[in-house]
Amino acid sequence: MTPQIHNISFPVTEPGALDQDQAYFYLRENGEQVRLRFHDYAEIYRRPGLYEQLFYQRLRCISPRKAHDVLEKVLKDNHVELSSLRVLDLGAGNGMVGELLDAARVIGVDIVEEARAACERDRPHAYDAYYVTDMSRLDAATAAEMKRWQIDCLTCIAALGFGDIPVPAFAQAFNLVQDGGWTVFNLKETFLHESDRSGFSRLVKGLLVSDILEVHHLERYRHRLSIDGRPLFYYVLVGRKRGDIPPGMVRA
Ligand SMILES: C[S@@+](CC[C@H](N)C(=O)[O-])C[C@H]1O[C@@H](n2cnc3c(N)ncnc32)[C@H](O)[C@@H]1O
């Protein structure tokens, strides 16, 4: 099937005028112009190929591949096979990360039903199971079911902060990982700036100097371009879990 080509255009804005969570674009379809925010995930996933065309072709996002490659390198250095791990992919979307993971089990979770539907439509092979739930409000039955997967690796790519995955959701997923398990996630570079006092920034800075996370790899790289063509730099972190995130470290 030939993928649908969408007619995407970006607004004229002053450089840096829009925060990442305010960014939007126009879509011309059926003779009409639709305005969509980057965070209108349900609308984006509903249109086959739009997510890929917007973030991966136009805005040159490289993060799923980058995360996969650094995770694989760290695992190799530690004599661990990715194919032996049971991965939870938090903020799985339409499966861009899941499809790269040649792991024993890959479990996806996303808050948006349209994400699962898009994944089933476009990458039905990516996950062994896909949960639609808000990880910050995980019910006991789903938590118990997720625990039965015996997760020993958490991936969370292009999904932390900026109105996406909040601190309690990340902590919940992190705490499902068995001690000694692995994690790879990325975050905008400003989260590590001293001036950033957001809950997520505090959590990550706390983890970096804690006994909870053993950091194996921290690298600054170009995640993607902004709508005005500027590079957006992120850090990718690979670490090994050494304990749970305690409630005191979790602030939304
Ligand atoms: C930018 S997408 C990233 C998708 C994919 N990881 C990728 O790299 O292409 C962020 C995803 O996080 C999901 N998300 C946001 N808040 C969430 C929550 N509380 N629990 C689970 N998923 C959430 C969104 O629905 C969205 O699909």
Domains of the chain: 7-58 (no CATH), 63-249 (3.40.50.150)
Torsion on CA atoms 139, 144, 148, 150, rounded to nearest 10: 70
Mention every residue, 6+ apart, whose C-beta is less than 8 A from residue 74: 182, 216, 217, 238
Residue 22: what pLDDT?
84
- Closest-CA residue, ligand 1 atom 7, reads 96
Three-state DSSP at 51 gives helix
Pocket of ligand 1 (CB under 6 A): 41, 63-64, 91-93, 96-97, 109-112, 115, 134-136, 157-159, 164-165, 169
Q: Which pLDDT belongs to residue 249?
A: 93
Q: Under a CB-based contact definition with an 8 Å cutoff, are residues 252 and 166 in contact?
A: yes
Model confidence band, residue 131 (pLDDT cutoffs 50, 70, 90): very high
**Mean pLDDT, residues 97-113:** 98
Residue 16's pLDDT is what?
A: 67
Alpha-carbon distance 210 to 28, whole Å?
49
What is the chain's mean pLDDT, rounded? 95
What is the average pLDDT across 19-27? Answer: 86
First and final C-alpha spacing in the chain: 43
pLDDT of 157 strictly over 60:
yes
User: What is the torsional sign of CA 240, 204, 250, 40?
Assistant: negative
Is a pLDDT exceeding 90 seen at residue 251?
no
> Range with the lowest mean pLDDT among 13-22, 111-120, 195-204?
13-22
Q: State the average pLDDT over residues 107-115.
A: 98
Instruction: Please report which confidence band the pLDDT of residue 19 belongs to, taking 50, 70 and 90 as the band edges.
Output: confident
Asked if pLDDT for residue 252 goes beyond 60, the answer is: no
Pocket test for ligand 1, best of 61, 63, 111, 135 (most atoms within 8 A of CB): 111
pLDDT band at 142; cut points 50, 70, 90: very high
DSSP 244: P
pLDDT in tens, 225-236: 999 899 999 999
Q: What is the model's pTM?
A: 0.96
> Which candidate, 138, 137, 120, 121, places its Cα nearest to that of 129?
120
Tell me the mean pLDDT in the region 75-90: 98
Residue 3 has pLDDT above 70, yes or no: no
The answer to whether the beta carbons of residues 210 and 231 sit under 8 Å apart is: no
pLDDT the model gives residue 2: 54
| Mean pLDDT value of segment 194-209 | 94
Site to probe by mutation for ligand 1, drawn from 37, 44, 112 as the one with most ligand atoms within 8 Å of Cβ, is 112
- CA dihedral 14→45→112→131, nearest 10 degrees, is -140
